Structures are given as C-alpha cells and as structure tokens.
Structure 1
Amino acid sequence: MTECTPAVSIVVCTRDRVSSLIARLPSIVDAASASSRDTEIIVVDNGSVDGTTKEVARRFPTVLLVHEGAPGISIARNTGVRAAKAPVILFTDDDVEVPLDWVNRLSAPLIAGAAEIVVGGISVDESLRRTWMSPWLLQNFAHYPEQQSVDPGVVGANFGALKTVLLEIPFDERLGAAPYQRHEDGFFGVQARERGFRIVGVAGDPVVHHFDPSRLQRSAIHALAARAGRGSGYIWYHWAYGVAPHLFVKSVVFRLTRIATLPWLRRHQSDRDLKLVAKIAFIDELRRIEGSPRNYPAPSVRLADPPSP
C-alpha cells in the first residue's frame, strides 16, 4: 500500500471481539497487499472495552483506526464510509477470513463500471457446521457459498459498493442495534434495488465465517430468529407501509400453534419452530409500533419520482 489516494477502502467494524479480529485481520491485510490496486484498511472500533484499539495499533500499524462510540453496526459502517478515501468500499466482518484475491476480485466490477454494488460468497467454517443444521438455518448464519450472478441479496460479511451510493443510501441506523439487530445489510440492498442500482454477484472462493460457537446454543438460535422477526417488522411497517389487521388474534394463534408443536421436547429447534418464533416477534413488533410515524415516505411517493442512479 502507498501514500497516494487509495482506489479501494476496506471497512471492518468491531466491538469487543479483539481475539476474533486479531485472528482474521491478517487475511485482510494480505489481500490488500496482494491487490493490484492501492488499498486502505479501516477498522471502526464501535465502543470496545476489551483493548481492541491497543492491539490493532500494535499489531497492524498500517491499519487506520476510527472510533465510533455510538453502538450499532449501521452507525459503525456509516462512520467507516465517511472515513474512507477511496471511491470503492468493500465490507467484511471481524470474524471473517478472506481469500488472497478478494480485493481484486470483489472490486473489479465496481471499478469497471459494471455494477454499483457487488456481493461475494460466504461459507460457514466447516468446524461450525452441525448435522442438525438445515440449509435455511445455515443461511441465517450467512452461509451463501455461491451468490447468484444477477441481483443477489446484500450480506454484510462480503460486499462492496461505490462510495457515492453508500453516501446516498446510508445504512439505516435504527437497524443493527437493539431492538433491531438484523437486516441492516439486506435493507440497504432493498433500497438500492428500488433506486435502480445494479447489484451483481461475484464468483470465486467465498470468504469464511468463523463465528463464536456460543451462537449455536439453543437460546442463541432462538434469539437469532426473534431478531429476524423484529427487523422484518420494522422494514415492513416503515418501508413497505404494511398494514396487518387483527394483530392480537394473530399473535395468539401463532403462539398456540408453536405450543402445539412441543418444541421443548426436541434437542434442536426445527425450521418450523424457528419460523414461528420469527413470526411471533414480527407480529409483536407491529403491535408495538402500530400508529407511530413512518420513517420513510410511502412507496407510492418514492416510486412516483424515483432518484436516478
């Protein structure tokens, strides 16, 4: 990497996961060094108290450290976007290992003008896969080894975009923090798609997701499904202007349906049970926010005069 203005910026956000970050950051540094394009690496420390700043500064002196005290992955990513000097920004997570050609491969369509947003494959590390995990559940841990080439969903562990797009469509800072701890990346893709930006899947070796094994515990998976439901409720209400009658009745019905399946008798929760957990959280969130002001203009207003990409 040189002192000139970089062609590519890499943004990694972290909060109190210094061990994971230190273990995975070398692969990002290697990919940046192997790139044919001048590349900077930005680590956004999202209020860590575990010594993240000290360790990154000591071990990786070429990495730019940016501090963001307000908690939330969307807030941290937006901070990273503002700090980035390059016109192309790539994102990955602090528990992800990237292949050596990652920077060149993921940035190529953006630099060539073939896309405004790119998404690469993500593979859950084999040591974290369990025989009882369904394909659907694996996807909830960001397991997408191969992305469709046209219009894939945006997944935060492996995607990139033009800085101009990221400034035009900042990550919704209500998502990515309690109580909406999921869907901030996918919702960015939804907004970009509506505005006509091209989202392209990039083939090649996926990045590898090394999440904390504690996330495989029953209670953690239950919480994962509930967070998905709450986030979906937020988007459905505020962006899609969804209206659902009889929310209380639906909440009761979904709860009774779940009880009838006797989920506590099984060692591992089924897809059906987890989807019911998400539905219950979705309905409960709609009940909580029903009648509150919407955070976005109505679809009819947005679509009547959409911004040009």
Structure 2
Amino acid sequence: MAEPAYEVAVVIPVRNGAETLGEQLRCLAQQQDAPAFEVVVADNGSTDSSAALALAWCGGRMPVRVVDAGARPGVAFARNTGVAAARGAAVAFCDADDHVSPRWVRAMADGLAEFDAVGGPVRLDRINAGPTIAGMETLSTGNRSVFGYLPYAVGASLGVRREVYLALGGTDESFPHGHEEVDFAWRLQHAGYSLGWAPDAVVDYRQRADTRGVFRQSFNYGESSLQLWARHAPTHSLAPVSLKGSIRNVAVQTLRAHRLLDPQARLVQARALGWNLGVLAGHLRYRKFGAPPAPRLMEQPSRLTEVAR
C-alpha cells in the first residue's frame, strides 16, 4: 500500500516535554485552511511521558507519528531524525513548548511555494509573564542576523523544502546548545538557496522563567555563538569579536550581580551575566585554547531507524 501523500510534515523535537507537548499538538489539530500534513514527534531520549503522550494522538484525525531520536542528545539530531522519517515535500519545525498560530501550517506551505526555506515571527507576550520577557523584543518582524552577516530563521518557526534540507545534510549536530539554525541558514544561502519570511507563520514562543534556567540557557547560547563565529569567520566576512571586550563585559556584569536579588531584575541580569560568561568561555574554548569541532551532518535517511508505535 502506498504511503499517504502530505504537502507538509511538521517535525517537533522533544526531550522531557510532557508538560507542554499536548498543548502544541492541540494547536496543530486546530489548524485552519491547512494543506494535508502529518506530525512527526522526534523523541530525543525523554525519560518522562512525552512519547506516550504523543502516541496517544496516533490513529486520530491528525496523523501523528513518533520516531526514536534518542541515539544522540541534541535538538539538531532530533530534527534530522524527524526529517529522515517525514513523508512531506516540505518540513515545518516547531518546538514542544510553544503554541503555533491557527494558520501556521498554511503560512509555512505558502512561504515554501516561493522560497526554499522560510522563517516565521515568534511572539513572546501571550504565553510569558511580563517579568520573564522584560527587555526582550515581543514580536519579531523579520529574519534575524548575528555578527553582521546573513539572515537566519529561528528554529521554533522554520520551514524548509525537504529535498533542500537533505541536500545540505540537515542541521549540524556538532552544535549542542544553540546556533545550529544560524549555521544551517548560512550554509543554505552559501549553496544558492533562498531564505524568505512568512509573516503569518506566528508562533507563541515560551521563555524560561526560572533564574537558574535562564542563566544556563544564556550561557550556552553565548558559548555556541563563538563556536559559530570560529567555524565561519575564517572564510566569510563576519564582524570581529574581541576577547578583551568579552573580559570587560563579564567584569561589568559581575559588578551588577547584586541585581539577581531583585525579583524585578533578576531574570534580565541572569540573561546578561550568563550570555557574557558564555561568550568568554567560547573565546577560550574555540579560539584561545582550541577550535570548533568538525561538522556532523545527518546520515542518509535510508540508514536511520524509524520507530512508529
């Protein structure tokens, strides 16, 4: 029997996301004017009930499958595994802890009819408390950029033609803690593919609300930003980065560490301190005493194992 034909495969990487995954699946089940689509939940080694929760949706009106993406930790590996198992001509990525808007799948499909890849807006003010997002942009209005270089789409609202994703080897699994979507977008554009903007593909983007989690995430993002820079700067025109400047920034944020005791300022300070410490760690790890790891791109789909029910 021939497999069902889908225009879009929605890939959701998840690791211990049982508290929020059901909300995202309900948002997808309520899509309006959507083309034929399936949902592929790529379980990245969850130890909670994430897989069971997703499996409960299998056989319902919305086609949902669960694939085992637990062989290696990391969102890049989970996304690659999900795409390998996908049966849609286009792939749309979202996260297990966010909410896609009612016409998100339609907007992704329309964007990918014109571009090889598209990004959509992420909105912060509807599912996050005010103090959680203080000082942050509440709604993005276009693809972002870092180091003054090419634009990229946020991985929480990203669409790609599947054949293009496979041709590029997917997202680089050597990025364990962020910036893998930036690296992917840059490689995509270097290869001559187009990156567009899908303004109606809005995702309500959940942020961490605990001080320790914000600090840890910001540290990881800061460190991975230097991994990205060290990987691409030798061959492309990225804005320069400064080790001395990073040391100075850490000193400034350390002097402001008392703000962590202020309930109104602690998350902003945790984010700033974590980021600057992470950037400094990245300088030391990827520039001063080492180099970025070699790229680790996805295996061919035929070599990956899909686990359904």
Normalised-by-shorter TM-score class? 0.7 to 0.9
Cα distance in structure 1, aligned partners of 2:258 and 2:154: 30
Q: Which runs of 5+ in 2 are unaligned?
A: 296-309
How far residue 277 of structure 1 moved from its aligned partner, in angstroms, is: 4.1
Alignment partner, residue 302 of structure 1: none
Write the mapping of 1:217-236 to structure 2, written as runs, cut at 5 A: 217-236=210-229
Once the two structures are overlaid, the 10-residue window that deviates more, 192-201 or 19-28, is: 192-201
Alignment partner, residue 171 of structure 1: 171
Write the mapping of 1:130-279 to structure 2, written as runs, cut at 5 A: 130-131=130-131, 133-135=133-135, 138-139=136-137, 143-147=138-142, 153-169=152-168, 170-175=170-175, 177=176, 181-204=177-200, 206-211=202-207, 215-241=208-234, 247=243, 252-264=247-259, 267=262, 268-269=265-266, 274-275=271-272, 277-279=274-276
How far residue 14 of structure 1 moved from its aligned partner, in angstroms, is: 0.7
Alignment partner, residue 67 of structure 1: 68
The TM-score with structure 2 as length reference comes to: 0.78
Cα distance in structure 2, aligned partners of 1:255 and 1:4: 54
Change (3 A) 1:293 1:92: same
Aligned length: 279
Alignment partner, residue 22 of structure 1: 22
Alignment partner, residue 103 of structure 2: 101
SS at match of 1:71: coil
SS at match of 2:198: strand
Q: Which runs of 5+ in 1 are unaligned?
A: 298-309
Which amino acid counterpart does residue 83 of structure 1 have in structure 2?
A
Q: Are the aligned partners of 1:239 and 1:296 in contact in 2 as well (CA < 8 Å)?
A: no
Identity of aligned residues (%): 22
SS at match of 2:6: coil
The TM-score with structure 1 as length reference comes to: 0.78
Q: Are the aligned partners of 1:149 and 1:201 in contact in 2 as well (CA < 8 Å)?
A: no
Cα distance in structure 1, aligned partners of 2:3 and 2:76: 28
Cα distance in structure 2, aligned partners of 1:100 and 1:219: 33
Cα distance in structure 1, aligned partners of 2:95 and 2:241: 39
Change (3 A) 1:88 1:130: same
Alignment partner, residue 305 of structure 2: none
